[in-house]
Amino acid sequence: MYSGKFIVVEGLEGAGKSSAIKVIESFLTRNGKPFINTREPGGTPLAEKLRELVIQTSEEFLTSEAELMMMYASRVQLIHNVIKPHLEKGTWVIGDRHDLSSQAYQGGGRQLSTQLLQTLRAAVLGDFRPDLTLYMDIEPSIGLSRARGRGELDRIEQEDVSFFERTRARYLEIAKQDDSIITINAEHDMSTVHQNILNQLEQWFEHKC
């Protein structure tokens, strides 16, 4: 049992993860909880190098299996070198993506086998899980439109809409089966979305902390 808590924000491109993270930061600050931010893939010098390999377009075709392995290599570096040490000290960790992304993107979008994903997760993560995950749910075409407005899309963001439809379907499927995952409708106006996030955080904090 760690003295800090691990809160993760998940969602498709354009779902508003960055603004959701700011709401969490403000909430933790008001409640006197020290925190750090992490992102996946990335978060350590080595993991950031793996991130570049994953998101940048290359002349060499990147297989779905290699993509998955790099995600987990990055993740295990981040967990052991950053997340767990901070949780042990009582620092809360806000994660921009975690293992649920692999289940949704590589499992749903890439259609890799559930058995492969479960085996990797068990081997790499064991029983380590976020204390709370906020899944920002958005229809893919809306999210991609928002993402394009931010600028050039990375390698994964350039996938066709059917990829993101499969990814979203897997997100929703897993969220229904896990009561530590809270689904937030990210298609509302920003003030409504932020208020919904705050309401969920307050309820969770009251009962779990």
Concatenated DSSP letters of 37-102? EEESS-SSHHHHHHHHHHHS--SSPPPHHHHHHHHHHHHHHHIIIIIHHHHHTT-EEEEES-HHHI
> Distance (Å, rounded) from C-alpha 32 to C-alpha 123?
35
CATH number at residue 171: 3.40.50.300
Residues of the domain holding 106: 6-208
The answer to whether the pTM exceeds 0.85 is: yes
User: How many separate domains does the chain show?
Assistant: 1
Say if 67 falls within a structural domain. yes
**Among candidates 136, 46, 131, 44, which has minimal Cα distance to 93?**
131
Say if 1 falls within a structural domain. no
**pLDDT tens, position by position, 120-175:** 999 999 999 999 999 999 999 999 888 887 777 788 888 899 999 999 999 999 99
**pLDDT tens, position by position, 57-104:** 888 999 999 999 999 999 999 999 999 999 999 999 999 999 999 999
